[in-house]
Amino acid sequence: MFIAHFAPAFAARAITDEAPKLGTLFIAAQLTDWAFFLFAMGGLEHLRLTPGITAMNPLDFYDYPITHSLVGTAGFALGFAIVVGVVLRNAIAATWAAIVVMSHWVLDWVSHRPDLTLAGGPDRHGLGLWNYPLAAMLVELALVGLCFWWYVRRTKGPVVPPLILLGTLLLFQAVNWFGPEPETVGFPFLVTGLVAFGILTLVASWVGSTRWHRNEVGLNRASPPL
């Protein structure tokens, strides 16, 4: 999955005003992919092109036990939770940050072929939703659409910024689905992925700065403009 990884970020922010801001949750949602792309640049983890390995994706993630084992993901979740907890001085915010980081492994387990491990061992796990393109597309769009709608319903603010974010997400997903397959997975490919994550995070941070949770009260909170 790609943009569906951001669905838990929308959901967490919708559930409680004590969750971190949307931009922070977008980082959490793709934290292990940020790390994987950087580790792949440094040769610590590896991927390769194997056309036809799944119906939707030619990428073979054959070596990424640090970032995409269940234990590795839990380590990133714990580390990110500690950072969020220290910065925000809020254990609830730290917990939600960890949950969103962990959601990445769960969604990858649903979509990937068996290439995920529990702790870097030989056993591989994955339900292989990518081998069923129509179902994978419907699940991705449904997750993002429902969680985005929930976030907008549970927050107040101008309507245009979140619509811009949704449009950007859908544009990037369309390129991912219907654009040309990569010819290599070297440095340019990895940088492109990081730039995409960065753009989406920046837009999400902007959107989060324009909205507040319905549970937040105060004289400084006015009705949102149309």
pLDDT at position 1: 81
Cβ-based neighbours of 207, under 8 Å, separated by 6 or more: 22, 161, 162, 164, 165
pLDDT at position 224: 44
> CB-hemisphere CA count at 13 Å for 193?
21
pLDDT at position 151: 98
46-49 vs 212-213, strand pairing mode: unpaired
pLDDT at position 21: 97
Residue 47 contacts residue 61 (beta carbons within 8 Å) = yes
Q: How many helices (H) and strands (E) does the chain have?
A: 9, 4
pLDDT at position 130: 97
- Can you give the pLDDT of all 226 residues of the chain as single tens digits? 899 999 999 999 999 999 999 999 999 999 999 999 999 999 999 999 999 999 999 999 999 999 999 999 999 999 999 999 999 999 999 999 999 999 999 999 999 999 999 999 999 999 999 999 999 999 999 999 999 999 999 999 999 999 999 999 999 999 999 999 899 999 999 999 999 999 999 999 999 999 998 887 543 454 444 3
pLDDT at position 147: 98
Q: Hey, what amino acid is at 133?
A: P
Sequence-distant contacts of 171-174: CB under 8 A, at least 24 apart: 172/2, 172/3, 172/196, 172/199, 172/200, 173/2, 173/3, 173/140
Local structure of residue 51 (DSSP, 8 states): T
pLDDT at position 217: 58
pLDDT at position 214: 84
Global confidence as pTM: 0.93
